[in-house]
Copies of this chain bind each other. A is one copy, B any other.
Amino acid sequence: LSARYESLNYEVSENKLYREAEYKTSHQITLWRISRNRWIACFFIGVITALVAALIDIGVHYSKDIKFNWILKYLISKCDEEQRGTTSGCMWTVMIAWIAYNCILVTIASCLVIFVAPIAGGSGIPQIKCYLNGIAIPEVVRPQQIFFYVTSNKKIIAEFGVACSVGGGLAAGKEGPMIHSGAVVGAGVSQGKSYSLGIDFGIFKEFRNDRERRDFVSAGAAAGVAAAFGAPIGGVLFSLEEGASFWNQNLTWRMFLSSMISSFTVNCILGWFNGRSGWLSWNGLANFGVFENKDYNVWEIPIFLLIGIIGGVLGALFNYLNTRLTEFRKTYVNSKFGRLFECLLVAAVSAFLAFLTIFAVDDCQPIGRNPTATSTQINQMWCRKGEYSAVASLFFQNPEESVKSLFHSPINSFGVPTLIIFAIEYFLLTLWTFGIAVPSGVFIPAILTGAAWGRLFGIYVERLFPSVTGIDPGKYALAGAAAQLGGVVRMTISLTAIIMEATKDITFGLPIMLVLMITKWVGDMFNEGLYDSHIDLAEVPILGWNPPKMSRNILADKVMRRDVVALERRERVSRIVEILKTTLHHGFPVVDRIEESVTQTLPDYGRLKGYILRTQLFKLLENRVFDEEHASESIPIDFSECQDDDDQNSQIDQLGLSSYDESCWLNIEPFMHPHPHRVPLNTSLPFIFRLFRGLGLRYLFVVNDDNKLRGVITRKDVARFR
């Protein structure tokens, strides 16, 4: 497990200051103000997340617009004139223009990621997952926060790169990055200050600790999903499924507010952008259209089952290959320019492959056969006048549009070879794209792949049962999309809710659930979900849902670390400075006395009395709260919660402690947490695991029968057992 990651600190340090805060007359009002501020913060999280998402969407819209309506239209019409009606000859110039344009956009996206904010690469969902599990990935959501000036924030800017990577024709979705920016917004808003801007709004100070921040990050992630898919319930479920060992009604309710406001705002903005301002039933960003024919029947269940199985297998294959590819990339493609070059290569190959396929597969359809297809005129390509290429309409539309036409087109709008080749190519492109240095999600590409092969089912079912009328291939395309996506990400109930909300339809809920359930079963036989594999690759000490198997006989004794760095209740400042300099532990147990042991090399620790955080010690030193000054009264009360990020960046040496200072004594007792979690030596690993998971612990002390300290267990010690 990598040492880069730090656990988050959800524990309240219930020291004397914290307890005495309650005696203040203003305490009730403070509590009320905090709880009001939580709602306010959640409201703004919803609004800002929606703004970011809407801007990304509008960005994607314009980059497509430029491509189609300016470049392509112009070039094709010029070709048309030159070649009198058939454009086939000079299509290759069109292609080159197209590839060049795509490459430029992807370069922008990639540069943003590589040189501005590396964390914005990929979909960002694994990072959210880790954060909600209790692990801070450096740079995920902590530093460089924002408040109102979204544009000033590096990370958010980088997220806008997704508009370029989607606009650049990559097999990438904008949804993952939207969710991630939601989480970033959640972390930023709740802090009420912006590092990049150097502005501290001075508000929401009470939220500057990991416990509150986690709650806001989960609200932000929920808002991100709500904005991306128009799925507020799906968003809440997503946050719960990915993050929660906790389920708290109030928190859930606030997450719900965020995601609701976020949906509302997106609807408002897009309604306005599309010229119907004030109209709120706008259907979200990833709008997959409404199914006309909502019937399904018992005899279709085996087909859904089959689709589920295929989705599980394909998803597992995808995960396996992508994991291998990521490992390869880690070893061989790790220079900045190597990564930039890979992005360009992907962009060029994607575009080239599209043209090649259009050229090779002859699926020309008369214009008008498919009423749902848009911009058929531009997609004429190598087809005759009055026809358009069905392949081109799949490759050259927005991915969302392509999904829509796969779902809702009449049965004969796409030829079988078109669908097969498209599914295979898109599968491979997605595989390659996920993990390069651009912001890119896997949701929409997976849905598109699945919809393509799912539609095949529809066609074959119709051929098999020619007697049954009105078979809608869109239904199977939907099932295929769910299966492919489910097979890749292995989300369960939240994915069902998201798909249901994104299709604005509940009737197909049951088959979708069925498909997702089978898919997960089948997929889990082979490997983990994509996000989990990536988390494992990064060696993050994440804790799963259940204790490791066959671990009843692993006792605390074997899990714990024995060479504890402990403090006494009164310590000389020089020793504390020494410890802070030589160790990196996030906190230290306080015992009643430490004696040299006669038998062992380890000292003999006394009884466990408390626990103090590194940051707290730091602040004590900074404020020179040494004994002779009796300064404990002068400490600001919010000291009990000092988890500000600032502290973590500064160094011991910068405190400028004089040698007189170092000879002072520091009385730790009033500042330590007086009843840290403890277990006896004979505690089993599953028990410890449940404590960590159920309470979100960061540490656990092991004591012997006399309550004497014997060891310490942190999240990493537990996560080591799989």
Contacts and interface: CB of A to CB of B under 8 A. Distances in A.
Interface of A: 12, 14, 18-19, 21-23, 27-28, 31, 232-233, 236-237, 240-241, 244-250, 252-253, 256-257, 260, 263-264, 267-268, 278-281, 294-299, 492-493, 496-497, 500-501, 504-507, 509-510, 513-514, 517, 520, 545-546, 549-550, 552-553, 607, 674-675, 678-680, 682-684, 686-687, 690-691, 694-695, 703, 705-707
Contact of A504 (B507, B686, B695): B507
Nearest to A520: B253
A705 B387 CA distance: 86
A249 B260 CA distance: 24
A76 to B, nearest CB: 38
Contacts of A278: 297-299
24 contacts: A14-B684, A14-B687, A22-B550, A232-B510, A233-B493, A236-B493, A241-B249, A245-B247, A253-B520, A264-B510, A278-B299, A279-B295, A279-B298, A281-B295, A500-B506, A501-B506, A504-B506, A506-B506, A675-B679, A675-B683, A691-B695, A694-B695, A695-B695, A705-B707
A493 B232 CA distance: 10
A552 B500 contact: no
Contact of A513 (B27, B246, B260, B506): B260
Given A23-B553, A27-B550, A675-B680, 14 more contacts: A233-B500, A233-B509, A237-B237, A241-B252, A247-B247, A253-B492, A256-B493, A260-B517, A264-B510, A278-B297, A280-B296, A501-B509, A694-B694, A706-B707
A19 B684 contact: yes
A505 B503 CA distance: 11
A233 B496 contact: yes
Nearest to A545: B249
A256 B506 contact: no
Contacts of A492: 249, 252-253, 256
Nearest to A679: B675
A546 B253 contact: no
A299 B279 CA distance: 9
Nearest to A241: B249
A1 to B, nearest CB: 22
Tell me which of A236, A278, A279, A675 has the highest count of chain B C-beta atoms within 10 A of its own C-beta: A675
Contacts of A504: 506-507
A523 to B, nearest CB: 13
B674 A682 contact: yes
A506 B498 CA distance: 11
Nearest to A507: B281
Given A299-B278, A510-B264, A682-B674, A233 B233 contact: yes
Given A233-B497, A706-B707, A552 B14 contact: yes
A549 B31 contact: yes
A295 B19 CA distance: 53
Given A279-B297, A684-B14, A247 B240 contact: yes
Nearest to A704: B707
Contacts of A299: 278
Contact of A256 (B295, B513, B549, B686): B513
A552 B297 contact: no
A249 B263 CA distance: 26
A517 B46 CA distance: 15
A18 B493 contact: no
A260 B510 contact: yes
A482 to B, nearest CB: 14
Contact of A298 (B253, B280, B506): B280
Contacts of A684: 14, 19, 675
A170 B246 CA distance: 41
B505 A506 contact: yes
A126 to B, nearest CB: 16
A286 to B, nearest CB: 13
Contacts of A233: 233, 237, 493, 496-497, 500, 509
A18 B493 CA distance: 33
A297 B280 CA distance: 5
Contacts of A686: 12, 14
Contacts of A703: 707
A294 B268 contact: no
A529 to B, nearest CB: 11
A32 to B, nearest CB: 10
A50 to B, nearest CB: 12
Contacts of A687: 14, 675
A686 B21 CA distance: 15
A620 B546 CA distance: 31
Given A296-B281, A674-B682, A695-B694, A18 B252 contact: no
A256 B517 contact: yes
A668 to B, nearest CB: 15
A294 B280 contact: no
In the A-B complex, the 8 residue pairs with the smallest Cβ-Cβ separation, listed nearest first, are A707-B707, A278-B298, A247-B247, A694-B694, A675-B683, A22-B552, A260-B513, A249-B545
A256 B248 CA distance: 20
Nearest to A492: B253
A643 B70 CA distance: 74
B550 A280 contact: no
Among A233, A298, A504, A703, the one with the most B-chain Cβ atoms within 10 Å of its Cβ is: A233
A492 B247 CA distance: 14
Contacts of A240: 240, 247
Nearest to A295: B281
Nearest to A294: B281
| Among A236, A506, A520, A546, residue most surrounded by chain B Cβ atoms (within 10 Å) | A506
A705 B610 CA distance: 12
Nearest to A703: B707
Contacts of A279: 295, 297-298
Contact of A510 (B22, B280, B674, B678): B280
Nearest to A502: B506
Among A28, A248, A280, A492, the one with the most B-chain Cβ atoms within 10 Å of its Cβ is: A280
A227 to B, nearest CB: 13
A686 to B, nearest CB: 8
Contacts of A18: 552
Contacts of A705: 607, 707
Contacts of A21: 552
A680 to B, nearest CB: 5
